[in-house]
Structure 1
Amino acid sequence: MSTEVWILAATAVLAVVAICAAVIAVRAVRRVGTIATQPVEDPATPATRDAPAPSADVIVHEAVVTSLPTELEPRVVEGRLVVPPTQHQVVQAALGRPGVRLSIALHGVTYALRAESRDRITALMRREFRRRRRERLQAGRRAVRSTRPTPPSDQWLGS
């Protein structure tokens, strides 16, 4: 088999996997959507079925006040215990997926290969090279000075 056939086969397999993932995602969204649209009676509010209906000339405005909990607490929903995830678990779930990790790695590589980044890295390397060269030259000068004795400082006065 030639290379083109292998690439075509790999592309076909990848397309099938992508379509399967899309179908699974759509089914999951539809299932969550039907659960979310079902009316839920709040046990804290009294039933309004017994209340008389307002007349046509009276407009009733009811404000629904929902207080969001400051901390998420475990609760029972439809007979199941729901424990909210920690922030660490949310981050791990979001960033731990292979596609996200690959995207982050590719972003880093493309950032490193940009002209600005290459110029900055080149400048840093040049600066480091010059600093090390300066240090080597200074160390060499110190070594030469330490091996040569210095003449006495009052020699220029004459005797």
Structure 2
Amino acid sequence: MSAEVWILVATAVLAAVAITAALIAVRAVRTIRRAEAPAAAHEPTTTPSTRIVVHEPSTPAPVVPDELAPRVVEGRLVVPPSQQQVVQAALGRPGVRLSVYAHGFAHALRAESRDRIAAMMRREYRRRRRERLQAGRRAVRSSQPSAPSDQWLGS
């Protein structure tokens, strides 16, 4: 197979991986938002004039697995990242740049893009050639002395 086909296959695989990662990230963010929505609805409220805190009973505390609970290791507090922080790190700037570059690369390899780019280059080449020829003609005209008009009116 040619190099273009290999590049196209690699780009397609990369695009599939990027789409899968985006779908996983969207689902993770949705589950985080669903988990935070009930907690936000039951937050204590205060009025500006009095400091009365209203709590609704029977709201279970969020269950945190032991490996995600903050702990002290060698005198330092270790807090594992939240799911949202992990998603943000996974889809950070380098990943986005890579996917944008891969998308542009795949777009440039398409036949219609190649044809359009080749046509633009051909037009630019012809335009520059035309400008060079015109500049040459102007240079030739300016180097030849102009004849006096008497000469043409004749004797």
TM-score, normalising length: structure 1? 0.43
State the TM-score, normalizing by the size of structure 2: 0.44
Give 1 or 2: higher helix fraction: 2
